[in-house]
Amino acid sequence: MSAEYKNTILVKHVMRKVSPVCESDTLRDVALYMIKEAAPVIAVVENEIVRGVIYIQDLIDPFIPDYFNYLSDFQFVKTFGYLDAEVFSGYFKGLFLAHDIMREQFDYVEPEDSILKAMFYMHRKNITGIVVIEDGKYKGIVSRFDLIGRLYGTDTD
Amino acid sequence: MKDGIELLLYFFFSQILILLGFLTPTEAWNFVDFNTLGLLLGMMIMVSFFKRTGLFEFLAIKSVKVARGNIFILFLLFFILTGVVSSLLDNVTTVLLITPVSILVADMIGVSPYPFLVGEILSSNIGGTATLIGDPPNIMIGSATGLSFIDFLLNLGPAVIIISIVVILYFKFVVGKRFSLKGSFDPAIVSLEPQKAIKDWGLLKITLSVFTLVLLGFFTHDLLNIPPSIVALFGASLLLILTEVHPEDYLKEVEWTTLFFFAGLFILVGALENAGIMEMVSEHILNITSNFKLLVFIILLTSAVISGIIDNIPFVAATIPVIFSIMNKMHYPNSEVLWWALALGSCLGGNATLIGASANVVVAGISEKTRTPVTFRNYLKHGIPVTIISIVISALYLYLRYLM
């Protein structure tokens, strides 16, 4: 398989306009919106300023108990007994809003950047998408699927 | 584990002392105890191999199976496992590997992990007291005095076993009433497969074989006239050769900050020694009392109290030359007891508060976001009584065995 791409492809050629969410939006609303838009990342905007971003992974992470990070593997476990149910019931007690889980430090690209830059961030940071910002204003997102679509020629453009 | 600021402070002040002429650069170099550093380095490398095998997860899950639904037996097995592993490896690694499994198991069966966590903190510090390699104070005492692995085991081991039994009874009758140590096992526990915790059977076989050899070396180092550091470094080198893994993969897991912290500390204490401070301190102590029995109890109690509040490593490093000075002045028969008092006090004192030892802080960190976190305040309720019990038992043990 060979990828056919032109080095003139810019972020603005592949980005999608996905409306941002607000800090006060509930996680349920954020999750449903991300599913609807098939957006792996979404910007959290307040007064036209990007306050943070939320990745799909960020919606999963809070369900995982913190101490799991100290266990190197779970091959020895099939089901988690009481924990299976308790993790889910405990989760929404402490976290309700987009503000609670958004990442305040994040990478972004600009519309005039080469898509190679977006690809680099996704590769280096192991992220599935990136937000596009210009002059401090949110413009949209680029996902791995958007890039692959363009790189492998399945894009409708 | 030492943080960067502590390391920088020791290094900064040791350099200042050299600049001020308290000691020459050559003297500073000579004050660094490479036996201690070598032993720590060798053990750190071996620990990094153990981490990769999954052995401790295996043992922890096996304990769950052996407990057969009895929560107190499970607590007991975790307590013993932590103690035994801590006596052979460093306490922080031990709790890092065992604590998450115990929280997971407690969560799976729907009981509070709190008694398990507190038990593991206490057991790691108690277990570490038993051997030359169990805790940094013992490594430093062993290196400075030439006392062997067997000496530590024979002189501190019995005290540690007695203390462990009493602490287990304390948990059974005091803590067990306040916290749920009862419960029934969930089918999830039955379905746990310990053998799947082992990540690399080949590596495990090699690591266990080499570690057995190293233990044999520790048991015989006195007879063979080989310092423990050489035994540990030999084991580490052998593992690096036999596993054919790039040494960089293992060396990056070495806590270099801890090693440099020790080097800086040795220089600092050396400078104080050179300046005659340690002589002055020993004279002051002897002015208070030259009664040997009283001196033993003062060292035991002082080291326990100080170790409960601050890091016991600098305290022990500074106390070693003071004890040497006292021994030189008084020529007590059976003066070896002073070292056992220092080891018992400084290791067991770490149980008093949550900041008394690095392992305590690590467990508290892991438990932070669980339903029952170990906090400074709630830990004190058990840390203080257990430390008092441990020190009283130690005092009785020292008196009955050596001073009567």
Q: Which residue has the higher pLDDT, B174 or A111?
A: A111
Chain A, nearest residue to B103 by Cα: A67
Where are the strands (E) in B114-188, listed by range? none
Interchain proximity A80–B107, CB inside 8 Å: yes
Q: pLDDT tens across B252-261, in order?
A: 888 888 888 8
For residues B86-111, average pLDDT:
90
The whole-angstrom distance between B369's CA and the closest CA on chain A is 6
| Structural domains in chain A plus CATH codes | 11-151 (3.10.580.10)
Alpha-carbon distance of B174 to B180, in angstroms, equals 12
Of the listed ranges A83-92, B74-83, B256-265, B387-396, the one predicted with least confidence: A83-92
pLDDT class of B248 with cuts at 50, 70, 90: confident
B190 at A interface, C-beta within 8 A: no
| pLDDT bucket at B111, cuts 50 / 70 / 90 | confident
State whether A71 and B100 contact (CB < 8 Å). Answer: yes
The verdict on a CB contact (< 8 Å) between B54 and A81 is no
Smallest CA–CA distance from B107 into chain A, residue: A83
Please indicate if any CB of chain B lies within 8 Å of the CB of A78.
Answer: yes
Contact A81 B366 (CB under 8 A): no
| Complex ipTM | 0.76
Q: Are B66 and B272 in contact (CB under 8 A)?
A: no
Query: Minimum mean pLDDT among A40-44, A153-157, B265-269, B324-328: which range?
Result: A153-157
Distance from CA of B257 to the nearest CA of A (A): 21
Average pLDDT (B291-306) is 93
Question: Based on C-alpha coordinates, what's the Rg of chain A?
Answer: 18
Q: Does B93 touch chain A (CB under 8 A)?
A: no
Quick one: pLDDT at residue A44?
A: 96
Q: What DSSP designation does A43 have?
A: E
What pLDDT is stored for residue A88 in this prediction? 67
> Looking at beta carbons, which residues of chain A come within 8 Å of B74?
none
pLDDT of residue B181: 60
Tell me which chain A residues have a C-beta less than 8 angstroms from the C-beta of B194: 76
For residue B252, the tally of other CB atoms under 10 A from its CB is: 9
Query: Is residue B71 very low, low, confident or very high in pLDDT (cuts 50, 70, 90)?
Result: confident
**Are B107 and A81 in contact (CB < 8 Å)?**
yes
Mutate to test the interface with B, among A77, A87, A100 (most CBs of B within 10 A): A77
Q: List own/partner pairs for B13-19 with CB under 8 A and 24 or more apart.
A: B13/B264, B13/B268, B14/B264, B14/B267, B14/B268, B14/B271, B17/B267, B17/B268, B17/B271, B18/B267, B18/B271
Q: Give B22 to chain A, closest Cα distance, Å.
A: 45
> What is the number of other CB atoms lying within 10 angstroms of the CB of residue B262?
23
Query: What pLDDT band is residue A1 in, cutting at 50, 70 and 90?
Result: very low
Q: Is B372 helix (H, G, I), strand (E, B) or coil?
A: coil
Residue B185 pLDDT level (bands cut at 50, 70, 90)? low
Q: In percent, how much of chain B has pLDDT > 90?
A: 54
B115-137 in b/e burial notation, b at 16+ Cβ within 10 A? bbbbbbbbbbbbbbbbbbbbbbb
- Inspect the interface and report whether the beta carbons of B108 and A75 lie closer than 8 Å: no
Q: Closest approach of chain B CAs to the CA of A3, in angstroms?
A: 35
- Chain A CB contacts of B58 under 8 Å are 76
Mean pLDDT for B269-277 is: 84
B189-247 per-position pLDDT tens digit? 778 888 999 989 999 999 999 999 999 999 999 899 999 999 999 999 999 999 977 87
Min Cα–Cα distance to chain A from B183, Å: 12
* pLDDT of A157 strictly over 90: no
Yes or no: say if A102 and A62 are a contact pair by the CB < 8 Å rule: no
* Separation in Å, CA of B322 to nearest CA in chain A: 41
Under 8 Å between Cβ of A41 and A127: yes
B367 touches chain A (CB under 8 A): yes
DSSP state of A95: -
Cβ contact (<8 Å) for A71 and B61?
no
The pLDDT value recorded for residue B95 is 93
Question: In the A/B pair of chains, how many CB contacts fall below 8 A?
Answer: 81
DSSP alpha helix (H) spans, B225-357: 228-243, 247-251, 256-274, 277-288, 292-309, 312-330, 337-349
Please give the pLDDT value at position B256. 86
- B306-354 pLDDT, tens digit per residue, is 999 888 888 899 999 999 999 988 888 888 999 999 999 999 999 999 9
Residue A89: partners with Cβ closer than 8 Å, 6 or more residues away: none
Asked if pLDDT for residue B69 goes beyond 80, the answer is: no
The answer to whether residue B197 neighbours chain A at the CB level (below 8 Å) is yes
Cβ of B3 under 8 Å from any chain A Cβ?
no
- B194 part of contact set with chain A, CB < 8 Å: yes
Examine the pLDDT at B304 and tell me if it is beyond 80.
Answer: yes
Q: Test A78 with B370 for CB contact under 8 angstroms.
A: no
**A contacts of B374 (beta carbons < 8 Å):** none
Q: How is chain B split into domains, by residue range?
A: 55-197+255-403
Residue B299 burial (C-beta neighbours within 10 Å; 0-12, 13-18, 19+): buried
**Do B367 and A77 count as a contact with CB atoms less than 8 A apart?**
no
Hey, is the C-beta of A85 within 8 angstroms of any chain B C-beta?
Answer: no
Q: Is A93 in CB contact (< 8 Å) with chain B?
A: no
* Whole-number pLDDT of residue B333: 84
B61 with A76: Cβ contact below 8 A: yes
Query: For residue range B132-173, what is the model confidence (pLDDT) as tens digits?
Result: 999 999 999 999 999 999 999 999 999 999 999 999 999 988
Q: Tens of pLDDT along A117-145?
A: 999 999 999 999 999 999 989 999 999 99
Category of B21 on φ-ψ map: left (φ > 0), alpha (ψ -120 to 50) or beta: left
- A81 reaches B (C-beta below 8 A): yes
Does residue A113 surpass a pLDDT of 60?
Answer: yes
Neighbouring C-beta atoms of residue B276, cutoff 10 Å: 11
Of the pLDDT bands very low, low, confident and very high (cuts 50, 70, 90), residue A2 is: very low
Q: What is the mean pLDDT of chain B?
A: 89
Nearest CB among B54, B61, B371 relative to A72 is that of B54
Mean pLDDT of B104-113: 86
Q: Which residues of B touch A75 (CB under 8 A)?
A: 193, 196-197
